[in-house]
Amino acid sequence: MRPMSLRHPPVRSYSELIACHECDTLSQIPTLAPGRAARCRCCGSVLLRNPKGGLDRPIALYSAAFILLLLANAFPFLTLEIQGRSEVTNIFGASRALYEAGMGELAVVVFLTTIVAPALLITSSLYVLLAVRLRRPLPALRTLLAWVSQLQPWVMLDVFMLGVLVAFVKLGNMATMHVGISLFAFVGLILVSAAATSAFEPHLLWQQIGYRRGKPHAG
Amino acid sequence: MRARDVGLASCHSCGLLLHLPGAGHTHCPRCGSAMHFRKVNSISTTWAFLLAAMIAYVPANLYPVMTVVSFGKAQSDTIMSGVIYLFLHGDWPLALIVFVASVLVPLLKMCALVYLLISVQRKSHLRKHQRTRLYRIVELVGRWSMVDIFVVALLAALVNVGAIATIEPGVGAIAFTSVVILTIFAATNFDPRLIWDR
């Protein structure tokens, strides 16, 4: 791991305190029973959670999500039939159709939010969780963990699913639609990733990872 | 007691609390990201993204998001006419969801951000709890506006059956996506702790 730069004097940290990220009120870090969450006494936002199942539950859920992600992208997603002709598409097909229609920018956005962001979120969460679980200081551990929380708003699997429902209704009058294996995997992926997100608390991981070399003295 | 009042800054990405001397900048010893008391230039950056989103909002609603060409006839749909179509031909619960996601949410989100920015700039002491909750909602719902873009992409992918019908995405779709993305950036650049600063 990269050692901390020594240009700055050792900084004093306060590992027993936490500041609310919405109102900046200081609180003592509480010891939480599994399944409980601590809320800011000033504004009520969640400060810290202690999800049940420790590290093993999010590892199991993210592994399942990873498999479902592969399945969801490997098989036909929807098939449309009009007058004997049929058109099959998968999730990537949505981005490809936009690209082929000359909307490259849109294609990139759809590709990022439906495939790249979910894939990055699932793989980097899994990587970080395994590194902490096996107590290995794997490379880029901190960078990836910092990424995970930034990625969350760009993962739009659930929004895409709503789009599928709307497309169903819009095309229902003029064509017959068939559901592919991927659509079932996709629904499973949405449910499993929601469960994985709620079983994953980055704060607890940061506490276990600790400081870079050149540990600041505790305040 | 609030962290900044006693010279403590919490890391934006990992939450570690550090004593920051003066207005000093340093890097988080735990995750390596830059440490500041508040998000840097939060108000002006949020305004910039928000104004850009407002400008893009006009073409997003005036230009068609897609054109359906079937049997030689072309019919263009804007965001609003797409919702009306769903109300008339689909089931209305779905139409209501789409109306909320693609018409109400972008509009209310921009209004909410304007209100939050102006109240922070005027150092208002009113309704701090409600404003914090408003920000929380704005952060959560923004992504749902993308639903219409996904619909256009799916329709374009499926309805490609040669002479019978084709669906072409329109310019409005690019403008609308810009609105969604710019408002997400605006929301993430806003620092809700400014609501509580004196």
- Of B32, B167, B46, B157, the C-alpha closest to A87 is B157
- Of A117, A77, A122, A120, the C-alpha closest to A97 is A77
pLDDT band at residue A213 using 50, 70 and 90 as cut-offs: low
**CA B116, B122, B123, B128 torsion-angle sign:** negative
Mean pLDDT of A3-16: 50
- Statement to judge: residues B131 and B192 lie in one domain: yes
**CA A212, A214, A218, A219 torsion-angle sign:** negative
* Mean pLDDT comparison of A12-16, A113-117, A176-180, B31-35, highest-scoring range: A113-117
How far apart are the CA of A181 and the nearest CA of chain B, in angstroms? 16
Interchain CB distance below 8 Å, B153 and A214: no
Chain B contacts of A114, Cβ < 8 Å? 150
Q: Record the tokens describing residue A101, joined without a space.
A: 């229609």
Mean pLDDT of A42-71: 92
- Statement to judge: residues B15 and B50 lie in one domain: no
State the total domains in chain B: 2
- Statement to judge: residues B2 and B25 lie in one domain: yes
- Statement to judge: residues B11 and B69 lie in one domain: no
Inter-residue contact B194 to B42 (CB < 8 Å): yes
φ/ψ of B176, rounded to 5, equals -65, -40
Query: Which pLDDT does position A1 carry in this prediction?
Result: 38
pLDDT band at residue A12 using 50, 70 and 90 as cut-offs: low
Query: Which pLDDT does position A206 carry in this prediction?
Result: 87
Query: Which pLDDT does position B23 carry in this prediction?
Result: 61
φ/ψ of A180, rounded to 5, equals -95, 170
Strands (E), A157-216: 176-179
3-state SS assignment for residue A123:
helix
Q: Record the tokens describing residue A116, joined without a space.
A: 């790249």
Query: Which pLDDT does position A219 carry in this prediction?
Result: 32
- Statement to judge: residues B54 and B150 lie in one domain: yes
Query: Which pLDDT does position A215 carry in this prediction?
Result: 46
Query: Which pLDDT does position A218 carry in this prediction?
Result: 39
- Statement to judge: residues B57 and B2 lie in one domain: no
Q: What is the mean pLDDT of chain A?
A: 85
- Statement to judge: residues B19 and B96 lie in one domain: no
Q: Which domain holds residue B113?
A: 41-196
Q: Is A3's pLDDT higher than 50?
A: no
- Statement to judge: residues B7 and B90 lie in one domain: no
* Mean pLDDT comparison of A77-91, A110-124, A128-142, highest-scoring range: A110-124
Query: Which pLDDT does position A15 carry in this prediction?
Result: 66
Interchain CB distance below 8 Å, B14 and A146: yes
Interchain CB distance below 8 Å, A98 and B156: yes
- Of A39, A71, A25, A34, the C-alpha closest to A53 is A34
Number of A/B CB contacts below 8 angstroms equals: 230
Mean pLDDT of A113-141: 92
Residues in chain A: 219
Of B2, B91, B101, the CB nearest to A169: B91
Domain limits of chain A? 13-50, 54-209
Q: Which residue has the tokens 């159709």?
A: A97
CATH number of the domain enclosing B52: 1.20.140
- Statement to judge: residues B146 and B124 lie in one domain: yes
> What whole-number distance in Å separates Cα of residue B25 and Cα of residue B12?
13
- Of A189, A162, A174, A187, the C-alpha closest to A85 is A174
Q: Record the tokens describing residue B33, joined without a space.
A: 């990201």
Interchain CB distance below 8 Å, B193 and A17: no
Inter-residue contact B147 to A163 (CB < 8 Å): yes
**CA A35, A40, A44, A45 torsion-angle sign:** negative
- Statement to judge: residues B21 and B63 lie in one domain: no
Residues of chain B with pLDDT under 70: 22-25, 90, 161-164
Interchain CB distance below 8 Å, A113 and B146: yes
Q: Is A9's pLDDT higher than 50?
A: no
Query: Which pLDDT does position B163 carry in this prediction?
Result: 53
ipTM of the complex: 0.89
The verdict on B159 touching A (C-beta cutoff 8 Å) is yes
pLDDT band at residue A214 using 50, 70 and 90 as cut-offs: very low
- Statement to judge: residues B29 and B65 lie in one domain: no
> What whole-number distance in Å separates Cα of residue B14 and Cα of residue B8?
14
> What whole-number distance in Å separates Cα of residue B19 and Cα of residue A14?
8
pLDDT band at residue A126 using 50, 70 and 90 as cut-offs: very high
Q: Name the residue with higher pLDDT: A216 or B66.
A: B66
- Statement to judge: residues B113 and B178 lie in one domain: yes
Chain A contacts of B33, Cβ < 8 Å? 146
Q: Which residue has the tokens 């309704």?
A: B127
Interchain CB distance below 8 Å, B90 and A169: yes
